[in-house]
Amino acid sequence: MPKAHILVVEDEEDILELIVFNLKKEGYEVTALQSGEEALQQVSARPPDLILLDLMLPGADGFEVCKILKNDPHTSSIPIIMLTAKGEEADIVTGLELGADDYITKPFSPRVLIARIRAVLRRPKQPRTSDHASIEIHNLIINPSRFEVKVNGERVDLTATEFHILAYLARRPGWVFTRSQIIDSVKGTDYPVTDRSVDVQIVGLRKKLQSAGQYIETVRGIGYRFRE
């Protein structure tokens, strides 16, 4: 079975060569480019299975490229992993809110890079499960129709906000969500709540879920994700 085709967009020659070498060593087909404009042309001509996208690019930067691709129904399902400078949390948040699927900070380990790529490629192609479909993951069952959560077969009583946060995260295991994305999904864009309020809800949710609370992972400075 052929390996996935990965488009790498990175303007630093040394980093680009390192990425291409390691991807080809794993058997992936690789296209390497150094500008956002070239990336958009390439995706239009031949959509890849995944894009590794540096944010700081000459001309059209990674933010613009990500926004264009994720707003186009023909390319919105292509996974994008951002490459960001270490510690640039604001850039990571912006990229995720534009629709990127994951991120890797520089400098990075080639083993971590390959593991992140494999994890993203394993994810289902559907954008998300139905809002009414039951979610069964690990030892947790979430039934939106009944507004019910069970851990190891035992019912857990949650508030409406806690339930919606849990269901939102669990529908896309492995995806990183910023606090503002969580707020918008649960209460809508006009709900007057702070990032701190999300943190408080997560603390309460973990406590009520007991052993299953460990599946909600904190992504420091960014937000949260549900463990795959």
Q: How confident is the model at residue 203 (pLDDT cuts 50, 70, 90)?
A: very high
Domains and CATH numbers, the chain: 5-122 (3.40.50.2300), 135-226 (1.10.10.10)
Which two tokens mark 64? 């613009």
Q: Give the pTM.
A: 0.74
pLDDT digits (tens, 9 = 90+) for 123-137: 766 544 455 678 888
pLDDT for 87: 63
Beta bridge partner(s), residue 154: 151
Assign 29 to helix, strand or coil: strand
**2-17: string of b/e by CB count within 10 Å (b at 16+)?**
eebebbbbbbeeebbe
- Report the share of the chain in percent with pLDDT over 70: 91
Which two tokens mark 44? 């239009």
Q: How confident is the model at residue 224 (pLDDT cuts 50, 70, 90)?
A: very high
Q: Are 201 and 182 in contact (CB under 8 A)?
A: no
Whole-angstrom distance, CA of residue 73 vs CA of residue 93: 22
pLDDT digits (tens, 9 = 90+) for 173-199: 888 999 888 888 877 555 556 677 889
How far does CA 120 lie from the centroid of its chain? 8
Q: Are 9 and 53 in contact (CB under 8 A)?
A: yes
Whole-angstrom distance, CA of residue 158 vs CA of residue 166: 10
Q: Are 9 and 100 in contact (CB under 8 A)?
A: no
Say which DSSP state 212 is in.
G
Which helix (H) or strand (E) is 88 found in, with range? none
**Beta strand 135-137 pairing with 140-143:** antiparallel
pLDDT digits (tens, 9 = 90+) for 208-219: 999 999 999 999
How far does CA 13 lie from the centroid of its chain? 26
